[in-house]
Structure 1
């Protein structure tokens, strides 16, 4: 009897933790057909998503009805647009851009466990469809992009102190640079991660700020 009660307490505690673990939609996600990864991050209070990897590099937004955008690269292109948290639910709603037909749809994203993200899109409230994405990258902390302007004066003030020693320090970054580039983590721009912090992408930064 004691064992049954103890086990019940453990299971209840685990069930209480599950929603917290499942509530973070940020990170890199592989779309259902495996052709791309979408990086989701919180930018100025909203969830945004952008293409962070392509199975076939060099893709272009050729189906966009806007002629001026038909030649833009799909890598780094915003796909989840300004998604807001739904009150009382672990869900975010906004818009999704579908590069396959060049159209925008009303959409929701809902984490289902720690490694799956369910996305649903609808046209004018009907003709709804969706798919499930699989996590391929860890959650991403809130972007520091909004704080960069505030910290700029401090950086400017410390620059003169670092200036006298460039000659001695010059050989060191040359040797270290390749390692740091290949070790780039999701959200950090580098050779292994050409997209970096999606909150700094012009399309997202211009809207979010």
Structure 2
């Protein structure tokens, strides 16, 4: 039976389009980067630190916040800028979801949490107390994604060029991600509005570096 060359070529083209679309979606669902929380009061920077996802406050609508509701008295005066929010989120096998804990600065409590990218520009976060009272919200991407550092031995895929991490005296740097990802239109706007980045590579923040090792 003879095959029609034109039909075969058309089939290959369609197959290539579907394959390319599927690969693009797979690579696009990356939780790293800067995300605006639902009520718009803060941006959370998410990065991979030694194979786990961590998130810290990277921008505040009202600067100067303090972690006043923390049950640990020694932490009640720490700035909320740079404070870890997503704690040691581990990827669930076979799905684009990460599980760990979320810190709620409004009541100083930790909750079981799941993050799941819904699209390249939206991510869902859900938190539960002992398996009930679950609630969630959707965050919107404002910058990123953040490429993994070649130094991160647990990072998946080929190494990418990292952003330059800040120099931190007296601290042993963990295996970490770069602080700046490929530029997107949203990121250019964020950079222009906030040229000085006081947070940088969140994997080097003491509260995260002490755990991610």
Q: TM-score, normalised by structure 2?
A: 0.72
Aligned residue in 1 for 2:128? 122
Tell me the SS of whatever aligns to 1:101. coil
**For the residues of structure 1 that align with 2:73 and 2:61, how far apart are their CA atoms?**
25
**For the residues of structure 2 that align with 1:191 and 1:144, how far apart are their CA atoms?**
26
The CA RMSD over aligned residues, in Å, is 2.5
Runs of 4+ in 1 over 2 A off after TM superposition: 4-15, 143-147
Task: Give the gaps of 5 or more residues in structure 1.
Answer: 148-185
Tell me the SS of whatever aligns to 2:87. strand
Aligned residue in 1 for 2:115? 109
Distance 1:141 1:91, change over 3 A: same
Q: Are 1:200 and 2:204 an aligned pair?
A: yes
Tell me the SS of whatever aligns to 1:68. helix
Q: Is the 8 A contact 1:118 1:131 kept in 2?
A: yes
Deviation track 1:38-79 (CA, whole Å, cap 9, x = no partner) reads: 000000110000000000000001111221111110000000
Counterparts in 2 of 1:21-170, with a 5 A limit? 21-143=27-149
**For the residues of structure 1 that align with 2:151 and 2:87, how far apart are their CA atoms?**
18
Aligned residue in 2 for 1:166? none
Task: Give the gaps of 5 or more residues in structure 2.
Answer: 1-6, 154-177, 181-193
**For the residues of structure 1 that align with 2:14 and 2:36, how far apart are their CA atoms?**
36
Deviation track 1:116-146 (CA, whole Å, cap 9, x = no partner) reads: 1110000001110000000001111124676
Residue-pair matches, total: 170
Q: Is the 8 A contact 1:145 1:200 kept in 2?
A: no
Deviation at 1:14, TM superposition (A): 4.8
Q: Equivalent of 1:187, from 179, 183, 205?
A: 179
Deviation track 1:171-205 (CA, whole Å, cap 9, x = no partner) reads: xxxxxxxxxxxxxxx826x9610000000000100
**For the residues of structure 2 that align with 1:59 and 1:86, how far apart are their CA atoms?**
33
Bigger helix fraction:
1
